[in-house]
């Protein structure tokens, strides 16, 4: 990785055209973690994090294209804050979890809704090859303020998501501590923290990504990624 060519943050690092976490041992994801998204999906507020997993083969770079798949025309966007682990975390407290975070990045949990909702288990709609853009910057925790940062997603330049990171139900530290109760997290592992309201499936009528669309996700203080759908 190299220092970012622009911006003043010495701790911001760019992986150029590669994902910032090319070979994580684990990719864990939190669903239903913003009230706005929970409400638009007609779900109850959870008492505990809703977790699912991805695999390294699902990750792709911050400027790479993602293929529209003929098997599922219901391709949806999910702009998210990503948490990259920097130190092994196993059965750590929430207070200790912050020291295990290397930094934060941007992700888009592009989801195939038709396959996702074939069953009550979401996995098959979340693990399509090279469908989860991540990067390009990794920002240290001391250089990122979740209290003021806003996540924004656009499709073809039109805003579809805009929400403060502070509205996460379960914070990054809480998620790290919670997952570490179950199994160890190792350096390079990635946690996606969930998406706010504004996804295509929740719209009336529903809106999905198709070939020719361009979806972009930015987070204040981190940067952004842009994904052509081909």
Q: What is the pLDDT of residues 115-170, one digit of tens each?
A: 999 999 999 999 999 999 999 999 999 999 999 999 999 999 999 999 999 999 99
Confidence of residue 6 (pLDDT cuts 50, 70, 90): very low
Do the domain assignments include residue 6? no
Confidence of residue 57 (pLDDT cuts 50, 70, 90): very high
Q: What is the mean pLDDT of residues 46-68?
A: 96
Do the domain assignments include residue 5? no
Three-state secondary structure of 119-156: CCCCHHHCCCCCCEEECCEEECHHHCCCCCCEEEEEEC
- The pLDDT of residue 39 is 86
Do the domain assignments include residue 221? yes
- Name the token pair of 206: 């529903």
Chain-centroid distance of CA 136 in Å reads 13
CA 71/CA 75 separation, integer angstroms:
10
Domain, as residue range, for 102: 18-228
Do the domain assignments include residue 29? yes
Do the domain assignments include residue 7? no
Average pLDDT, the chain: 92
Is 24 within 8 Å of 189 (Cβ atoms)? yes
Do the domain assignments include residue 181? yes
The fraction of the chain above a pLDDT of 90, given in percent, is 83
Q: Measured in Å, how far apart are the chain's first and last C-alpha atoms?
A: 28
Do the domain assignments include residue 8? no
Domain count, the chain: 1
Q: Read off the pTM.
A: 0.91
Q: For residue 171, give the CATH number of its domain.
A: 3.90.850.10
Cβ neighbors of 4 (< 8 A, separation 6 or more) are 12, 13, 14, 137, 223
């Amino acid at each position: 990785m190299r220092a970012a060519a622009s911006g003043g943050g010495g701790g911001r690092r760019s992986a150029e055209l590669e994902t910032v976490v090319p070979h994580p041992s684990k990719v864990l994801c939190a669903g239903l973690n913003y009230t706005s998204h929970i409400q638009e999906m007609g779900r109850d507020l959870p008492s505990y994090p809703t977790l699912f997993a991805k695999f390294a083969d699902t990750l792709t770079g911050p400027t790479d294209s993602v293929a529209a798949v003929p098997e599922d025309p219901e391709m949806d966007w999910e702009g998210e804050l990503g948490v990259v682990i920097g130190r092994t975390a196993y059965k750590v407290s929430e207070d200790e979890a912050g020291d295990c975070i290397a930094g934060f990045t941007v992700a888009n949990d592009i989801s195939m809704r038709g396959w996702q909702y074939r069953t009550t288990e979401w996995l098959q709609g979340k693990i399509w090859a090279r469908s989860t853009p991540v990067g390009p910057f990794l920002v240290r925790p001391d250089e990122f303020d979740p209290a003021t940062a806003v996540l924004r997603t656009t499709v073809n330049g039109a805003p579809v998501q805009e929400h403060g990171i502070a509205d996460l139900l379960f914070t990054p530290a809480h998620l790290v501590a919670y997952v570490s109760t179950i199994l160890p997290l190792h350096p390079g592992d990635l946690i996606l923290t969930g998406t706010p309201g504004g996804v295509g499936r929740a719209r009336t009528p529903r809106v999905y990504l198709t070939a020719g669309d361009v979806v972009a996700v930015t987070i204040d203080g981190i940067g952004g990624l842009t994904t052509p759908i081909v």
